[in-house]
Amino acid sequence: MGTLKPGATYIYERVDDVVYARESGSTVRKEIGRDYDLHARITEDKLWGDIRRAAETNPTLQEALERVKVTYYLTEDYEKRYGRKT
């Protein structure tokens, strides 16, 4: 059971891909696991890296990436993560 106390009552919470446990009545959370497909994430990251490198010599691809960035900057998700607008 790791660092969790045997017999204690725990509340389990998930934030994005991370699973936390906190003892009932406490605000202190402990990470107890992650839920993601590592292979899929690595493949996706490699794809985006390939796209960025290809965009260096492909004006159409570079333009498309710039539109994606502008769209992201205008999203609520960007505001929540960084608390600012560009």
Residue by residue, DSSP assigns 20-84 as EEEETT---EEEEEE---HHHHHHHHHHHHHHHHHHTS-HHHHHHHHHHHHHHHTSHHHHHHHS-
Per residue in 15-25, pLDDT (tens digit) is 888 889 999 99
* pTM of this prediction exceeds 0.75: no
Range ranked top by mean pLDDT from 26-30, 47-51, 69-73: 47-51
Task: Using pLDDT thresholds of 50, 70 and 90, give the confidence band for residue 45.
Answer: very high
* pLDDT over threshold 80, residue 8: yes
Residue of 2, 1, 27, 31 lying closest to 14 (CA atoms)? 31
Per residue in 66-86, pLDDT (tens digit) is 999 999 888 888 888 887 655
> What pLDDT, on a 0 to 100 scale, did the predictor assign at position 2?
59
Residue the block writes with tokens 């993601």: 36
